[in-house]
Structure 1
Amino acid sequence: MPSTPTLIFIVIFYLVSLASMLQNGFMMIVLGREWRRNRALPAADMIVASLASSRFCLHGIAILANLLASFDFCYQANLFGIFWDFSNTLVFWLTACLAIFYCVKISSFSHPVLFWLKWRISQLVPRLLLVSLIMGGLSAIISATGNIIADQMIISQGFHGNCTFGHMSLDFYRYYYLSHAVFMWLMPFFLFVVSIILLMFSLYQHVEKMRGHRPGPWDPHTQAHTMALKSLTFFFIFYILFFLALIISSTKSKSMQSFWYWAMEVTIYTGIFLNSIILVLSNPKLRKALKMKF
């Protein structure tokens, strides 16, 4: 029987995951209606809709996998884990695509490559989405291969319990998935960080320039860019916490009854939830739909 603090974190995990599924479902419905009405979506909204869909699936898979593992259906949970790797990798690459898109569109750096990208980035979005899907599929293949190897190692060591790992298979599981995490998640995370830093620096330069020309603190352009800078800062912080929590959880195998396992799960999925809130508040269509609902 889990301890009381562990039970509290279990409840928080399921509540946060369900709330995030509702939130991302709302984003999918709003942007889906927009697509049905106009038979097209702007490039940024295409990425946001794809990101909302992948996050919705990620939370759903996490809920099902944890429920199955809690009842010792670990083989079925591992199968869901493959889909989790696909969805999680897709989330990372789509988030990087969104950061790159906003960096190219909003930043004011005077460079020929950036000017060329400003004209081409909207046309490149479908290709970026395709690359993200390919990377997600590659992640699922790597995950499935690791599960097969780990299962064979467990059988060869004579461990027949549903959720029992031998020492060799446990070490393999840790180092294999750490390598997997570094390979599949570090590159989009690096692209995200570089894009957001460049964008924040560009927005900061713009705010300083506007203050020089219009000293009034209530200038609408300065206010808009200041709000954008604040939103990006919070998005940046939450996303880094999400990434670090995932890396830590990949290097440490914890029991389902462990307090730290559920604490890490809460940290990971709360980070996604907070990122989605910022995504809703920073998108005019979603913000308008949210105001109409309330």
Structure 2
Amino acid sequence: MLAGLDKIFLTLSTAEFIIGMSGNVFVGLVNCSEWIKNQKISFVDFILTCLALSRITQLLVSLWQSFVMTLSPPFYSTWKSAKLITLLWRITNHWTTWFTTCLSIFYLLKIAHFSHSFFLWLKWRTNRVVLAILVLSLPFLLFDFLVLESLNDFFLNVYVMDESNLTLHINDSKTLYIKTLILLSFSYTIPIVLSLTSLVLLFLSLVRHIRNLQLNVMGSRDPSTQAHKGAIKMVMSFLLLFTVHFFSIQLTNWMLLIFWNNKFTKFIMLAIYVFPSGHSLILILGNSKLRQTALKVLRHLKSTLKREKTVSSLQIDIPGSF
């Protein structure tokens, strides 16, 4: 029988999962259907589709982890199950982070305007640069695998001990655990730096663009200015949500180890859903094609509900109808 807090935790986890899946499945379906229809897909839509697929997998792994931790804690604490869940989550989180980073770089190279020869060289090879960044992210994934092996061994040594020796073992291994967490956090540094650099350069490009227009009345309404502002909003939203995501991961790693039996500790994990769930909705609102398609779907659902309501009311008004 589940306790009240466990039911609340699973309910909130499921709700965040449904919100995230709805947004990401929508993005994937829209882009894949257009791909099949036109027999081609733009590079930015390809990135968005890959990002949606990685987030769908990440949400599935996160929901699985939430249910296993709540319904069968002994199963989660076994070495094999913990290793499998951690490995799957790390893979999906890696691709989610790097695909979003590549999206930020794509916005920078396509929208920003700089006369520097190196920037122009990158701008002319935008697609190749983004693909090269994805390839260069693979060593970081391999690095994570190697670090996770030592972390999984640490968890194995902790959970096979009885409760009386658990505190002593944690104190003896605290230095190793801190080093492991720092190493795992290192792979997040490059995506954050790249996205932050993209944000700064987009802002500088916007300032220069407005200055070149001499701040006339239409200066803030021309397409280039709007594109700059839209890209800045997208990159800022990514950095904000990713910051919440990053710190919630670090806090969860510490709290679940030190206060494993505390039922409130699991609620920290709910913040991890914010990034894959919330950012997909922001992408839909920030992409004109996805936004227009979403509005069409909502209008269609609204009209369908009205028709069903009208039919139901007519059936009630007809004598002898059921």
> Normalization by structure 1: what TM-score?
0.83
How big is the shift at 1:170?
Answer: 6.2
Q: Determine whether 1:159 maps to 2:161.
A: yes
| 1:136 matched to 2:138 | no
The structure-2 alpha-carbon separation of the partners of 1:259 and 1:240, relative to structure 1 and needing over 3 Å to count, comes to: same
Match of 1:179 in 2: 182
Higher RCO (C-alpha under 8 Å, 6+ residues apart) = 1
Matched, 1:41 2:44: no
How far apart, CA to CA, are the structure 2 residues paired with 1:169 and 1:28? 47
Please identify, of 112-121 and 182-191, the stretch whose mean Cα deviation from structure 2 is larger: 182-191
Is residue 65 of structure 1 aligned with residue 65 of structure 2? yes
User: Normalised by the size of structure 2, how large is the TM-score?
Assistant: 0.76
Gaps of 5+ in 1: none
SS of the residue corresponding to residue 115 of structure 2 reads coil
1:284 is aligned, of 285, 288, 313, to 288
- The 2-side partners of 1:13 and 1:204 are apart by 42
Matched, 1:118 2:120: no
* CA offset digits 1:252-274 (Å, max 9, x no partner): 43426432431x22222123322
CA distance in 1, matches of 2:208, 2:9: 42
How far 1:54 moved relative to its partner?
A: 0.9
Letter in 2 for 1:119: W
The aligned counterpart of 2:239 is 236
Corresponding residue pairs, total: 287
Q: Residues 5 and 41 of structure 1: is their aligned pair in 2 closer, same or farther, counting only changes over 3 Å?
A: same
- The 8 Å contact of residues 252 and 265 in structure 2, kept in 1 or not, is answered as no
Gap change, CA 1:274 and 1:206, over 3 Å in 2 = farther
Match of 1:82 in 2: 87
Report the RMSD for the aligned CA atoms in angstroms.
3.0
Quote the Cα distance in structure 2 between the aligned partners of 1:200 and 1:22: 32
Bigger Rg, which one: 2
Show the counterpart of 1:202: 205
Determine whether 1:30 maps to 2:27. Answer: no
Partner of 1:219: 221
The percentage of counterpart residues that share the same residue type is 25
| 1:106 aligned partner | 111
The verdict on how the C-alpha distance between 1:217 and 1:87 changes in structure 2, with shifts beyond 3 A counting, is same
How far is 1:30 from its partner?
A: 1.3
Superposed CA offset, 1:172-192 (max 9, x none):
674254123322212212211
